[in-house]
Amino acid sequence: MSSKAPADDTPYRLLGGDAGVRRLVDRFYDLMDEVPEYHGIRKLHPQDLAGSREKLYLFLSGWLGGPPLYVEKYGHPMLRARHLPYAIGVTERDAWLACMLQAMEDTSVAEPLRDALLKAFFGTADWMRNREESPTPPT
């Protein structure tokens, strides 16, 4: 048995394809409204989350190895440039990651995939930071 995964064992497919990605994205945004710890990142979004849900779904579809829906509709994602208008620091990064982790847990993403995705999400979320953090003063 080969240790290499078949080419079709993409995160997109392992999540359940289109329906799995939509389920994950919907839970992610539902949590922003439901969990007080995520209200800080919720405030960075418009009141109506329909557009945000759709764009994250389109982006994740391609990012996870499925159809490149975002690129087909909007072109290159330019993630950092699109997020520059929003102050994103360690607090926002960590809240986004915690919300996504909870969404993955709530939608029963298998542990090995969840761990791999969280690592990949961290790299992207950390790269999105665009504000300097104030050092903690000595006590």
Please report, for the chain, the start and end positions of each structural domain, with discontinuous segments joined by +: 13-127
Question: How far apart, in Å, do the first and last CA atoms of the chain sit?
Answer: 57
**Distance of alpha carbon 7 from alpha carbon 124, whole angstroms:** 23
Distance from C-alpha of 29 to C-alpha of 103, rounded to nearest angstrom = 9
Report CA 105 to chain centroid distance, whole Å. Answer: 13
Per-residue pLDDT of the chain in tens (139 residues, 90 and over written 9): 334 444 568 999 999 999 999 999 999 999 999 999 999 999 999 999 999 999 999 999 999 999 999 999 999 999 988 888 899 999 999 999 999 999 999 999 999 999 999 999 999 999 999 987 765 655 5
Specify whether the CB–CB gap between 86 and 14 falls below 8 A: no
pLDDT for residue 131:
86
**What is residue 84's predicted lDDT score, i.e. its pLDDT?**
87
Instruction: Specify the CATH superfamily of domain 13-127.
Output: Globins (1.10.490.10)
